[in-house]
Structure 1
Amino acid sequence: MTRPAQSATGGMPMELLLLGYLLSYLPSIMLTRYLATTSIVALGRPLTGLELLPGSLMLNLVMTYAFIWLSGWHRQANRLAIGRWSVPFPRRATFLSGLATSLVLFTVPLSLTFKGVSIPFIQLIMRGDILILAPLVDVLFGRRVRWWSWLALAMVAFALVIALTDRGGLRLPPLAVLTVVLYTLGYFLRLVVMTRVGKTGDPQTVRAYFVEEKIIALPMSLVALAAISTLGLGGQADELARGFIGIWRLGVIWPLVGMGVTLTAVSILSILILLDPRENSYCVPLERAASLIAGVVAALLLAWIWGMPVPRPAELAGAAILIAAIALLSLAPRLSARAAHGVMPARAMASPDKDH
Structure 2
Amino acid sequence: MSLNINLGIWKLASGYFAFYIPYSALTKTFSKGLLPGTDRPIPGFELLPATAIATTITLLTYISLMDGWQYIQRKQILGFSLPIPRTQTFFSGLATATIIATTTLNYTFTGISILFALLLMRGGVLIMAPIVDTIFHRRVQWNSWVALICSFLAIRIAFADVDNYQMTMLAVLNLSAYLMGYVFRLQFMNRLAKSEQKAENRRFFLEETMVTAIALTLIPALLALIGRGEILQQLRSGFTSFLVTPLVLPALAIGLLYACLYFFGSHIYLDSRENTFAIPLNRCSSLMSGLVASLGLTLLLGQKLPSYPQLLAAGIIIIALLCLSIPALQKNFQTQTNAIPQNPVQQIYLFICGGNTSRSPMAQAICNHEIARLLNLSLAELTQAPIQAISAGLDTNPGTSMTLEAQQTLNYLGVTPHTHTTNNVSAEQVEQANKIWCMTEAQCQDLRERFPEAAWKIQRLDPTRDIENPSGGSMETYLAIAQQLQALVSQHLSVQINVSIPRVN
Same fold (TM over 0.5): yes
Q: By how many angstroms is 1:249 displaced?
A: 1.7
Which residue of 43, 53, 60 corresponds with 2:55?
60
The correspondence for 1:226, drawn from 215, 221, 230, is 221
CA shift, 1:338, in A, is 7.8
Residue number in structure 1 paired with 2:204: 209
Cα distance change of structure 1 residues 232 and 276 upon mapping to structure 2, 3 Å threshold:
closer
Q: Give unpaired runs (5+ residues) of structure 2.
A: 1-5, 346-505
What are the residue-to-residue correspondences of 1:65-214 with 2, within 5 Å?
65-82=60-77, 86-167=81-162, 171-214=166-209
State the partner residue of 1:21.
16
Aligned residue among 287, 303, 313 for 1:292: 287
Of 325-334 and 132-141, the range deviating more from structure 2: 325-334
Report Cα offsets for 1:21-60 as digits up to 9, x if no partner.
1101111111111111126788731211000101100111
Match runs of 1:180-329 below 5 Å: 180-329=175-324
* 8 Å Cα contact 2:164/2:307 also seen in 1: no
Q: Which amino acid aligns with 1:295?
A: G
Secondary structure of 1:113's aligned partner = coil
Mean alpha-carbon deviation: is it higher for 244-253 or for 38-47?
38-47
Q: What are the ranges of 5 or more consecutive residues in structure 1 without an aligned counterpart?
A: 1-10, 352-356
Residues matched between the structures, number: 337
Deviation at 1:102, TM superposition (A): 1.9
Question: Structure 1 counterpart of 2:61, which letter?
Answer: A
Counterpart-to-counterpart distance in 2, 1:186 and 1:309: 31
What are the Cα deviations for residues 110-158 of structure 1, in whole angstroms up to 9, with x where unaligned?
Answer: 0000111111111101110110111101101111111111111000000
Contact 2:29 2:35 in 1 (8 A): no
Match of 1:142, SS state, is coil
SS at match of 2:45: helix
**Range 275-284 or range 231-240, more displaced:** 231-240
Are the counterparts in 1 of residues 51 and 256 from structure 2 also a CA contact under 8 Å?
A: no
Shift of 1:188: 1.2
2: distance between equivalents of 1:84 and 1:225?
Answer: 30
Q: Which moved more, 1:233-242 or 1:109-118?
A: 233-242
Counterpart residue type for residue 296 of structure 2: L
8 Å contact kept, 1:74–1:208:
no
Quick check: 1:40–1:47 contact (8 Å CA) kept in 2? no
Distance 1:27 1:60 in 2: 15
For 1:81, give the aligned amino acid.
Q
Question: Relative to total residues, which structure has the larger strand share, 1 or 2?
Answer: 2
Bigger shift: residues 320-329 or 239-248 = 320-329
Relative to structure 1, is the Cα distance of residues 80 and 160 closer, same or farther in structure 2, using a 3 angstrom cutoff?
Answer: same
Distance in 2, Cα, partners of 1:125 & 1:39 = 24
Contact 1:77-1:207 at 8 Å conserved across structures: no
Q: Which moved more, 1:113-122 or 1:221-230?
A: 221-230
Deviates more, 1:189-198 or 1:231-240: 231-240
Q: Deviations over 1:296-344 (max 9, x none)?
A: 11111011101122111111111111122112111123436889x9xxx
Q: Of the two structures, which has the highest relative contact order with CA contacts closer than 8 Å and spacing of 6 or more?
A: 1
Letter in 1 for 2:197: D
Q: d(CA) in 1 for partners of 2:145 and 2:121?
A: 19
| 8 Å contact kept, 2:151–2:320 | yes
Higher mean C-alpha displacement, 64-73 vs 195-204: 195-204
Alignment-mate amino acid for residue 58 of structure 1: I
Contact 2:111-2:165 at 8 Å conserved across structures = no
Aligned to 2:415: none
The 3-state SS of whatever aligns with 2:147 is helix
- Distance in 1 (CA, whole Å) between partners of 2:35 and 2:269 is 37
32-41 vs 104-113, which deviates more? 32-41
Aligned partner of residue 108 in structure 2, secondary structure: coil
Q: Matched residues in 2 for 1:130 and 1:279: separation? A: 14
